[in-house]
Amino acid sequence: MEQRQLEKDVIDKLSKVIDPETGADVIRMRLVQDIKIDNDGNISYIFRPSSPLCPLAVPLALSIIEAVSKIPGISRQNITVENYTQAEALTQLLQTMLDV
């Protein structure tokens, strides 16, 4: 699949993931950034919850992962959590789930 189309599909899918606290999508809120997709369909991106103590960080991260996993052409995800009190632990947990 063409790289540009795959990136557009990712943005389109993520624009349907809504933060329940604000009613806005994760793209408009800039919660997902630095999206990179290689030629093998491996995607990496940064998830920045809306606050360091965001109570919805885990469910939002899971919703993002689920949305991206439904995109044809994406073979593997690498998510990094930043600007969150438990960023490193959450990143490790999410990556462990993705590696299963």
Render 30-83 in DSSP notation, one character per residue: T-EEEEEE-TTSEEEEEE--SSTT-TTHHHHHHHHHHHHHTSTT--EEEEEE-S
Cα three-residue angle 52-53-55, rounded to 5 degrees: 130
pLDDT for 95 beyond 90 = yes
User: So where are the chain's domains?
Assistant: 3-98
pTM score: 0.92
Q: Which CATH class is domain 3-98?
A: alpha beta
Q: How confident is the model at residue 99 (pLDDT cuts 50, 70, 90)?
A: confident
The predicted model gives 13-35 an average pLDDT of 95
